[in-house]
Chain A
């Protein structure tokens, strides 16, 4: 058994194979198109916020601007810096680009998950899911892929053989590795409630709006996940990786032509994927908005297709939020970034996870849930005070003795 998808459980036949190939093709093309539109959307939206017009020449509303830029980049000279490590330099863009597309494979892109339906559809006489892969490890796959994506940026900076890209990539690696912990811990809160790792299982657990994990996990894990995801994507306000004033262009300074385009594509593709992941984990993915028995149904559309419409609408909201962040928030300083990650987000997500686990244990053993929650909060508060005391002590020592490192 490679996947939970019923399509792949019997013998290998032509029809399932063709459906899988079709899905791969669709996901790839949709991914590329989404990235193209995202670049345009970001430029247009930011231009609007800054009282500019933005791209308006290529196509209606400048929508083909990204295509034009892509073609331009294709025809530019592909240069190798003389001090570059040629093999690694050529490998790095692909290490960045391929994971960006792979992570998209586990997102449920549609299907009917209402009233405990499994989200399966019948396509050419075969029962399948509208999702490229549904591995048993589910969202862990996304984490694994995002930890591979670190290599692309890290090796790009190192192999350029120049100091600004190296500084940029060292920053990026430290940032991505530290925020991965907070990302994983806030994800664990969702997994604790859904009881499964599979993305389709997580989606089908969120039928009504009260079951959406943003509400059932108590909002905090969502905010931590959102912040950590932004840092993981190296997007503003966490884009010190490519701080132009300090680092010229960050890890991709020495890259040109199609190799640069691959990094650019990967960055925007990652933004789309991460928005889709947030929607899947916290906002019910392709589930419609439903309160109690009332379901906000789109008329005339079959439920499976409607899932795709809902998913797109929800993803668009998050893409807009990311653009909003970029237009609004100033970039963090490096020490602020590390403090936020290690001293706030990781302890907060760990504490919240413990609280949820205690509540779950209380429900299982029929303990008084208010007493358990209250005493957990007291314990967490004591931990918080101890931590603050430790920070205060170390700050005082730094004042008197200077930094040790």
Chain B
């Protein structure tokens, strides 16, 4: 059963990933990305990480890709792009080198950690939970809000800085043109 779910989810992920690259239309590519994200959510559920699965769907599929699509529609870039012209000439060879390097790192990591993959982990030991609340949520909340609270808050500050910076940059550009 678990194997069957894994195969289906893996197929979804791979199909989506290939679709993102192969589909010429940006909207179709974005929809393929949704397929991949759903596959990952299914894998999370299969690993009993229900909360992560929900967040995966709410945040990635529900907010981020919607934002992608929104920008694609609003800016009207939903046309097939001409791939012949190259704004940066060095881009393509560099991209090939970088992707080969990444592939090498991934393969090396998998080969190196081969033994670990075959072992079964002991799982997380939790004290008994009352009225059947989800163990994932409790565990995550305890990690984020007690042990790693500083890192968590710093990350959120980083996000706020990014938002404020974006607003400021776009305003500056308009002021200069005035």
**B73 adjacent to A151 (CB under 8 Å):** no
B51 in contact (CB, < 8 A): yes
Which B residues have a C-beta under 8 Å from some C-beta of A? 25, 27-28, 31, 34, 48, 50-51, 53-55, 57-58, 61-63, 66-67, 69-70, 73-74, 78, 130-134, 136-137, 170-171, 174-175
Contact between B62 and A1 (Cβ–Cβ < 8 Å)? no
Neighbour of A404 across the interface among B57, B58, B132, B171, CB < 8 A: B171
Known: A147-B57, A147-B58, A166-B73. A196 touches B133 (CB 8 A): yes
Residue pair B70, A173 in contact (C-beta under 8 Å): yes
Taking the closest CB of chain A, its distance from the CB of B118, in whole angstroms, is 24
How far is B175's CA from A4's CA once the two chains are assembled, in angstroms?
58
Name the A residues within 8 Å of B74 (CB-CB): 170
10 more A-B contacts (CB under 8 A) besides A173-B69, A197-B133? A4-B132, A135-B50, A137-B53, A137-B54, A137-B134, A137-B137, A154-B73, A177-B66, A404-B171, A404-B175
- CB-CB under 8 A from B54, the residues of chain A are 137, 140-141, 143-144
Chain B residues, CB < 8 A from A174: 70
Q: A170-B74, A173-B70, A174-B70 are in contact. Are A136 and B50 (CB under 8 A)?
A: yes
In chain A, what residue has the closest Cβ to B59? A147
Query: In the complex, which residue of chain A has the Cβ closest to the Cβ of B76?
Result: A166
**A405 contacts chain B at the CB level, 8 A cutoff:** yes
Q: Are B34 and A137 in contact (CB under 8 A)?
A: no
**How many angstroms between the C-alpha atoms of A399 and B131 in the bound complex?**
56
Q: Which of A163-181 contact B (CB under 8 A)?
A: 166, 169-170, 173-174, 177, 180
Q: Given the complex of chains A and B, what is the CA–CA distance between A140 and B58 in angstroms?
A: 8
**Residue A88, interface by CB 8 Å:** yes
| Nearest CB in chain B: distance from A83 CB, A | 12
Residue of B58, B74, B174 with highest tally of chain A CB at under 10 A? B58
The minimal Cβ–Cβ distance linking B100 to chain A, given in whole angstroms, is: 33
Number of chain A residues whose Cβ lies closer than 8 Å to a Cβ of chain B: 33
Chain A residues proximal to chain B, CB less than 8 Å:
1, 4, 85, 88, 135-137, 140-141, 143-144, 147-148, 150-151, 154-155, 158, 166, 169-170, 173-174, 177, 180, 195-198, 201, 204, 404-405
State whether B131 touches A195 (Cβ < 8 A): yes
**How far, in whole Å, are A95 and B131 apart by their CA atoms in the complex?**
34
What CA separation (Å) do A213 and B28 show in the bound complex? 43
Task: Please tell me which one of the listed residues B28, B63, B132 contacts residue A198 in the complex, with CB atoms under 8 A apart.
Answer: B132
Q: How many angstroms between the C-alpha atoms of A166 and B48 in the bound complex?
A: 39
Given that A150-B66, A173-B66, A197-B134 are known contacts, is A137 also in contact with B61, CB under 8 Å in the complex?
no
* A180 adjacent to B62 (CB under 8 Å): yes
Check A147/B133 contact, CB under 8 A, given A140-B58, A170-B73: no
Chain B residues lying within 8 Å of A196, measured Cβ to Cβ, are: 131-134
Q: Smallest CB–CB gap between A148 and chain B, Å?
A: 7
| CB proximity of B112 to chain A, nearest CB, Å | 33
Q: How far is the CA of A85 from the CA of B174 in the complex (A)?
A: 36
In the assembled complex, how far is the CB of residue B113 from the closest CB belonging to chain A, in whole angstroms? 28
Known: A137-B50, A140-B54, A405-B170. A158 touches B78 (CB 8 A): yes
Considering the complex, give the chain B residue whose CB is closest to the CB of A145: B57
A52 to B67, CA, bound (A): 43
Assembly CA distance A289 to B84 (angstroms): 70
A89 to B50, CA, bound (A): 32
Closest residue on chain A to residue B34 by CB atoms: A151
* Assembly CA distance A148 to B171 (angstroms): 33
List 7 A-B pairs, Cβ < 8 Å. Answer: A137-B53, A141-B54, A150-B66, A154-B66, A170-B73, A173-B66, A174-B70
Bound state CA distance, A147 and B63, in angstroms?
Answer: 7
Assembly CA distance A137 to B58 (angstroms): 12
How far apart are the CA atoms of A196 and B138 in the complex, in Å?
10
Does B66 contact A136, Cβ atoms closer than 8 Å? no
Least Cβ distance of B127 to chain A in Å? 15
The reply to whether B132 and A201 contact each other, CB–CB distance below 8 Å, is yes
**A166 to chain B: which residues have CB within 8 Å?**
73
Bound-state CA distance A169–B55 (Å) is 24
**In the complex, A1→B63 CA distance in Å?**
29
Residues of B within 8 A of A4 (CB): 132
Residues from chain A with a CB closer than 8 A to the CB of B174 are 404-405
| Contact A137-B51, Cβ < 8 Å, known A85-B27, A143-B58, A177-B63 | yes
CB pair A198 B133 closer than 8 Å: yes
Cα of A85 to Cα of B175 in the assembled complex, Å: 39
Contact between A154 and B69, CB atoms less than 8 A apart: yes
Inter-chain CA distance A282–B63, complex, in Å, is: 26
Q: How far is the CB of B149 from chain A (nearest CB, A)?
A: 14
Residues of B within 8 A of A170 (CB): 70, 73-74
The reply to whether B61 and A195 form a contact with Cβ atoms under 8 Å apart is no
Closest to B171 in A: A404
Q: Determine how close the nearest CB of chain A comes to the CB of B154; give it in whole angstroms.
A: 20
Residues of A within 8 A of B67 (CB): 177
